Amino acid sequence: MTATVDTFNDLATEPLRSRRNHWNNQVRRHAFMTPDKPALKFLGSVTTWKELDERSRAFAAALSRRGVQFGDRVLLVLLNRSEYVEAVLGANLIGAIPVPVNIRMSPAEVAFLVNDSGAKVIVTETMLAPLADAAAAATGDAIEHTIVVGGSDKDAHLDYEALVAEDSSDLDEIDVPEETVALIMYTSGTTGKPKGAMLTHTNMQAQAVTCLQALQTRSDDIGSCVAPMFHIAGLGAMAPLFYMGALSVIHPLGAFDPDDMLDTIEKEGTTSIFLVPAQWQAVCAAQQAKPRDLKLRVISWGAAPASDTVLNAMNETFPNALNVAVFGQSEMSPITCVLEGKDALRKIGSIGKVVPAVTARIVDPEMNDVAQGEVGEIVYRGPNMMKGYWQNEQGTADAFAGGWFHSGDLVRADDEGFLYVVDRAKDMIISGGENIYCAEVENALFGHPSITEAAIIGRAHEKWGEVPVAVVVLAEGVEDLTLADLEPYLNENLARFKHPKDLVIVDELPRNAGGKVVKPTLRQSYGSKDAGLAN
């Protein structure tokens, strides 16, 4: 996509740029119409729509001045904070592409993202600067600038606030078409190599419209952003708030404290919030123990299944709130299915129905539609479908085989059209709302000198939903191995949430005639053991 310079005050060209339907123009619209209305709030600090527009524009000018151009990638290694939003908007203003990074990743994992994305700039913060520096060092001279929010004692770092304070009057107005990539969201693949899903401005606008319908977002809403912004659930939840000009209260990342969460949403007057089921379970218990005066109008959940116990607790604790379950994946921006609160208990275990913006089929391996009630893979089309995987032609071709996006989810539909996930074609574990791809963990274990074979399976866990368990065959001459022995190695190669929580040593892995590991056998033997699991 070629950028075109479009001067803001040139009436002959401004209509082209100003009619673009994406979040930069939405922010500018609110900055013009309601400049003093709060847009963001973080730890008590308020950013108005005018300030958000000005600061994102200033950041865009600073990036442009340092050589960042249309299509360049900007890596974001940040916790949840207002500057995260400014950095995304600022990069998008000049057609650059933000690449959010899971801050739980190891330096080696972040270095892979640097190399794969070809990023030339990292935006980080004081606490995470060592991670960013370690990743940058591992990639040679790929990173030209490291920008630090909150200050740094290293001369090589650029101070974020100093950049935002620079004069931005020299910034050219760039026409950024809706099909421009707005984000690259990396998701681990079944091969163990992360793939960058390219999400366009059209995709994020479709996500906004989906949320407007499913969550009934209003301009006077106050949305609490709790999900990490490096997940599409975080930035995706902000898309409808940008559209409506509603306030986003950004919660800092850290250990989840349900009492602190409730105190905050009471203080802020939060009307809409998304949490994973494990968080809702804790929040409901805390609210029942100490009731707060809350204004919650919409409560939503997803990223992991919710039990009837949790759903009942949510309905009992927040009887006047609209209870909505959302289902999807990064490649779909992310929401594809919604289960309304009125159906949550009646259709326990369902992911709901396909949202209006999405066309879906349930197909067999030959792309034939299966009969109602039969199991098949759900495939999608729609305006929220990613553009493809970044620099991964084969992965993109596989994902769009037959002209539809293949979700990897095996589902069935009941006689009312409600969908149920019965298995995951992609070998994945969902732990505390985080996706853990077994192949990625297995590839890491294969690199340890004490292990010759490894298989990862999921095990039910009361707190996290599922946790990974490693079943391994030891190398010749190795008599014993423990998780403690593996920890230093795993810390270097995998984010901590991906670490196995139990280690099972076997003489050999069960395999079928084709040599493939028979994981159902492993799950039957070791998937229900609950002794000795780490928290």
In sequence order, the 6+-apart residues with CB closer than 8 A to the CB of 117 are 73, 75, 99, 184, 196, 390
Rg (CA), the chain: 23
Looking at residue 423, its pLDDT comes to 65
What pLDDT, on a 0 to 100 scale, did the predictor assign at position 404? 98
3-state DSSP assignment of residue 10: coil
- The pLDDT of residue 276: 86
29 phi, psi to nearest 5 deg: -60, -45
State the Cα–Cα distance between residues 237 and 217, nearest whole angstrom.
10
* 59-68 residues labelled b (16+ CB within 10 A) or e (exposed): bbbbbbeeeb
- Per-residue pLDDT, 8: 43
Q: Are strands 405-413 and 419-424 parallel, antiparallel or unpaired?
A: antiparallel
pLDDT profile of the chain (535 residues), mean per 10: 46 72 96 98 97 98 97 98 98 98 92 96 97 94 96 95 94 93 84 86 96 93 95 93 97 92 97 91 95 96 77 92 93 95 83 95 95 94 97 95 94 94 74 80 87 90 89 92 94 92 94 69 80 46
Q: How far apart are CA 100 and CA 247, in angstroms?
A: 22
The per-residue pLDDT for 4 is: 45
Which domains does the chain show, CATH number per domain? 4-177 (3.40.50.980), 201-424 (3.40.50.12780), 428-526 (3.30.300.30)
Name the token pair of 86: 């400014």
Secondary structure of residue 44 in the 3-state scheme: coil
What pLDDT shows up at residue 179? Answer: 97
> What is the C-alpha to C-alpha distance for residues 221 and 295, in angstroms, rounded to an integer?
10
pLDDT at 424: 66
